Amino acid sequence: MKLTKIALFVGAATLALVGCGGGGSDPVNEDKEYIAIDNYLNRAQVTLTCTDDTNSPYTAITGANGKASFPATVVPENCTTVVMGIDGTVDIDEPNTPWVGTLKAPKGKTVANAFTTAYVLYQEAGVPENEIVDAIIAALDPTGDIGLTADTLFADFGSNAGNQKNKKLLKLANATYHAMASVLAQNPSDSLTALKNAAVKVGAIVSDEIKKAEAAGIDLDTVKVVVTVKVNADGSVDAEGKTEDLGTQPTVAPTVEPTVTPTVEPTVEPTVEPTVTPTVTPTVEPTVTPTVTPTVTPTVAPTPTPAPGTGTGTGTDGGGGTGA
């Protein structure tokens, strides 16, 4: 059975603890922790690509605190970081909304956030290393009201309980990341110029929205600042901002395959041909011509004519006579 690197590392760490008898921690042998913040990202995939390391790249999944553990042998100074949203990744501030995107961090940094991502984008565009941090701060927080510095730019400001500065940094980081993603999605001809111009707009809008929220007594943990950006053909950027209540964010329901009720073909009663009673031609009794008894004319016996007589009669009629 082929074990994954992560499984092998867990085994090695266990053996190390057994070997030292469970004594005090040894920083050299402790797992390296990397952190992904938009706010903290849960179930995000973190990949380290390290030079001079035959086991590179390394991959791990973050927990609810945004942390992913890597073996003690990893040398952060040799590794770049890429955080990607995968199936199930969420920002803990918006647990019902899938998080989709990519965060980056340069070599030597174990936190990936919007500011470190901007750092890598500037780096990839050819901005000199010694100018990048100052350029990001000048664009996003020129007055220093939010607290973005060379240190906080790479810091874990997700743990902000009771820390107003970290809350402000988190609002700025969240708005910055989504604005940068929007700029790149619009595919400007000069992406670096568009990113710089967008950063200036985002910084000003977030600073203003934070001041309004504070003046209204709103806890920054309960809101997010959303900045919508539009890149123009000349690289200039138009932007609008607003503050949204995190408690009223739209909920994305899990994708549920619809229950398909099987189509039931209606039962068709067979067509019953009506029984046709055959037409019965009534039997016609033949017309019987009544027997006519012939009229019998009765035979009339002829009246006999008396033959002439020859006798002799003697009559007496007052005088007699003789006949012959």
Q: What is the pLDDT of residues 260-271, one digit of tens each?
A: 444 444 454 555
Strands across the sheet containing 67-70: 67-70, 32-36, 111-112
Task: Output the pTM of the full model.
Answer: 0.68
pLDDT at 300 > cutoff 80:
no
Interval 63-89 mean pLDDT = 96
Average the pLDDT over each of 90-94, 225-229, 319-323 and give the range with the smallest value.
319-323
Strands (E), 98-222: 102-105, 111-112
The rounded mean pLDDT for the chain is 78
* Cα–Cα distance list, 286 to 175, 217, 279, 291, 292 (Å): 112, 118, 20, 14, 17
Interval 239-245 mean pLDDT = 92
- Select, from the ranges 12-26, 38-52, 273-287, the one with the highest average predicted confidence (pLDDT): 38-52
What's the pLDDT score for residue 161?
59
User: 103, 116 in Cβ contact below 8 A?
Assistant: yes
> 230 pLDDT band (50/70/90 cuts)?
very high
Interval 235-242 mean pLDDT = 94
pLDDT at 231 > cutoff 70:
yes
What's the pLDDT score for residue 30?
76
What's the pLDDT score for residue 159?
79
